[in-house]
Structure 1
Amino acid sequence: PSALAVMPTEELPSLKTIVVAGEACPPELISYWSVGRQFVNAYGPSESTVCATMAECSPECSVPPIGRPISNTKIYILDRNLQPVPIGVPGEIYIGGVGLARGYLNREDLTNQRFIPNPFDNSKVKSQKSKLYKTGDNGRYLGDGNIEFIGRIDHQVKVRGYRIETGEIEASLTQHPSVKQTVVVAREDNSGSQRLVAYIVPLVESNITSNPELSNTQINSWQNLFNQQIEEQNSKVTDPLFNISGWSSSYDNQSLPEEQMRIWAGDIVAQVLAHKPKKVCEIGCGTGLLLFQIAPHTQAYYGIDISRISLEYIQQQILQEPEKYAQVNLAQKRADEIGDIAAQNFDVVIINSVIQYFPNVEYLLQAISEAIRIVKPGGMIVLGDVRNLPLMKAFHSSVQLYQATPSLSVEQLKQQIDRQMQQETELLVSPELFIALKEKHPEITHVQIRLQRGMEHNELNKYRYSVLLHIEAQTAKVIEPLVEKGVGVNYEDIEVYLKQKQPPAICFSGLVNGRVENDVLGVELVSATEEVKNVQQLRQKLQEKQVNGIDPEKLHELSESLGYSLELCWAAQGGAEFMDATFVRSELAAEGMVLTPLTQKSVIGGNWGRYGNNPLASVTAKQLIPQLREYLELRLPEYMVPSGYVVLSQIPLTPNGKVDRKALPGPDFANSLSTEYVAPETETEKLLAEIWREVLGIEQIGIHDNFFDLGGHSLMATQVVSRVRQALGIELSLTTLFESSTIAKLAEVLVEEQLEQVDSNILEQILAEVDG
Structure 2
Amino acid sequence: MSDNTTAEHTGRIADLLAAHPWVARARPAPDGGVLIVPHPSAVAASPEPGPLLREHLEQWAEVYEWVYEAGEGRHSDDLDLSGWRASDTGAPLPEAHMRDWVDRTLDLVLAQNPTRLLELGCGTGLLAHRLHPRLDGYVGTDVAQVAVDRLTAAGLPRTAFVRAAAHETAASQVWDAMDTVFGPDVLPDCVLLNSVTQCFPDLAYLAAVLHGALAAVQDGGTVIVGDNRHSGLLLDHFGRLERARDPEADDTTIAARAATDAEADEELSFTPAAVAAAVAAQPRPVRMSVHARTMAEDTELTRYRYDIVLHVGPHAGGPGAHRVRRTSWDEHRGSGIREALRTTLHGAPVVVHGIPNALLRDAPGAVTPYALRQALDGADAAVLLDVADPRMLAVAAPARCAPVAVEDLPTPSGPAAHEPFPLFVRRRLPEVLRDHLRRAEPHATPPAISVVDGIEDFEGGHA
SS, match of residue 86 in structure 2: coil
SS, match of residue 622 in structure 1: helix
SS, match of residue 383 in structure 1: strand
- 1:602 deviation in Å? 4.9
2:180 alignment partner in structure 1: none
- 1:580 deviation in Å? 2.5
The alignment status of 1:328 with 2:159, answered yes or no, reads yes
C-alpha separation in 2, matches of 1:560 and 1:204? 54
C-alpha separation in 2, matches of 1:597 and 1:280? 23
C-alpha separation in 2, matches of 1:281 and 1:491? 45
C-alpha separation in 1, matches of 2:150 and 2:235? 36
C-alpha separation in 2, matches of 1:263 and 1:249? 16
Residue number among 374, 395, 408 corresponding to 1:600 in the alignment: 408
- 1:281 deviation in Å? 0.9
- 1:329 deviation in Å? 0.9
Give the direction of change, closer, same or farther, for the CA distance of 1:369–1:492 in structure 2 (3 Å limit): same
Residue number among 70, 83, 95 corresponding to 1:232 in the alignment: 70
2:358 alignment partner in structure 1: 514
Give the direction of change, closer, same or farther, for the CA distance of 1:626–1:311 in structure 2 (3 Å limit): closer
C-alpha separation in 1, matches of 2:130 and 2:428? 44
- 1:358 deviation in Å? 1.1
Alpha-carbon displacement from aligned partner over 1:460-485 (angstroms, at most 9, x marks no partner): 12111111111215268423332223
1:560 alignment partner in structure 2: 377
- 1:356 deviation in Å? 1.0
- 1:646 deviation in Å? 12
- 1:335 deviation in Å? 1.1
Give the direction of change, closer, same or farther, for the CA distance of 1:558–1:479 in structure 2 (3 Å limit): farther
- 1:243 deviation in Å? 0.4
Amino acid at match of 2:84: W
Residue number among 358, 366, 369 corresponding to 1:549 in the alignment: 366
The alignment status of 1:613 with 2:456, answered yes or no, reads no
**Runs of at least 5 residues in structure 1 that lack an aligned partner in the other structure:** 1-176, 180-195, 519-545, 628-642, 650-772
Larger RCO: Structure 1 or Structure 2 (Cα < 8 Å, ≥ 6 residues apart)?
A: 2
1:76 alignment partner in structure 2: none
Give the direction of change, closer, same or farther, for the CA distance of 1:391–1:308 in structure 2 (3 Å limit): same
- 1:205 deviation in Å? 8.3
- 1:439 deviation in Å? 2.5
Amino acid at match of 1:399: L
The alignment status of 1:581 with 2:425, answered yes or no, reads no
SS, match of residue 409 in structure 2: coil
2:211 alignment partner in structure 1: 369
Q: In the alignment, is the contact (CA less than 8 A) between 1:208 and 1:620 conserved in 2?
A: no
1:398 alignment partner in structure 2: 240
The alignment status of 1:571 with 2:379, answered yes or no, reads no
SS, match of residue 377 in structure 1: coil
1:480 alignment partner in structure 2: 323
Q: In the alignment, is the contact (CA less than 8 A) between 2:288 and 2:404 conserved in 1?
A: no
C-alpha separation in 2, matches of 1:566 and 1:648? 45
Q: In the alignment, is the contact (CA less than 8 A) between 1:572 and 1:597 conserved in 2?
A: no
C-alpha separation in 1, matches of 2:220 and 2:95? 34
SS, match of residue 335 in structure 2: helix
Q: In the alignment, is the contact (CA less than 8 A) between 1:495 and 1:558 conserved in 2?
A: yes
- 1:421 deviation in Å? 1.1
Give the direction of change, closer, same or farther, for the CA distance of 1:414–1:276 in structure 2 (3 Å limit): closer
Amino acid at match of 2:238: H
2:202 alignment partner in structure 1: 360
Residue number among 383, 393, 418 corresponding to 2:259 in the alignment: 418
Q: In the alignment, is the contact (CA less than 8 A) between 2:357 and 2:367 conserved in 1?
A: yes
C-alpha separation in 1, matches of 2:121 and 2:403? 30
- 1:209 deviation in Å? 5.8
Q: TM-score, normalised by structure 2?
A: 0.74
Identity across aligned pairs (percent)? 19
1:126 alignment partner in structure 2: none
1:532 alignment partner in structure 2: none
SS, match of residue 245 in structure 1: coil
The alignment status of 1:280 with 2:117, answered yes or no, reads yes
**Runs of at least 5 residues in structure 2 that lack an aligned partner in the other structure:** 1-23, 176-184, 433-447, 455-463
Q: TM-score, normalised by structure 1?
A: 0.46
C-alpha separation in 1, matches of 2:168 and 2:42? 23
Q: In the alignment, is the contact (CA less than 8 A) between 1:480 and 1:594 conserved in 2?
A: no
Give the direction of change, closer, same or farther, for the CA distance of 1:593–1:566 in structure 2 (3 Å limit): closer
C-alpha separation in 1, matches of 2:258 and 2:203? 23
Q: In the alignment, is the contact (CA less than 8 A) between 1:513 and 1:550 conserved in 2?
A: yes
SS, match of residue 309 in structure 1: helix
C-alpha separation in 1, matches of 2:452 and 2:365? 37
SS, match of residue 75 in structure 2: coil
- 1:549 deviation in Å? 2.0
Q: In the alignment, is the contact (CA less than 8 A) between 1:229 and 1:246 conserved in 2?
A: yes
Alpha-carbon displacement from aligned partner over 1:183-215 (angstroms, at most 9, x marks no partner): xxxxxxxxxxxxx9xxx9x99986776592221
Q: In the alignment, is the contact (CA less than 8 A) between 2:41 and 2:50 conserved in 1?
A: no
C-alpha separation in 2, matches of 1:491 and 1:254? 40
SS, match of residue 381 in structure 2: strand
Amino acid at match of 1:230: Y
Residue number among 288, 294, 310 corresponding to 1:453 in the alignment: 294
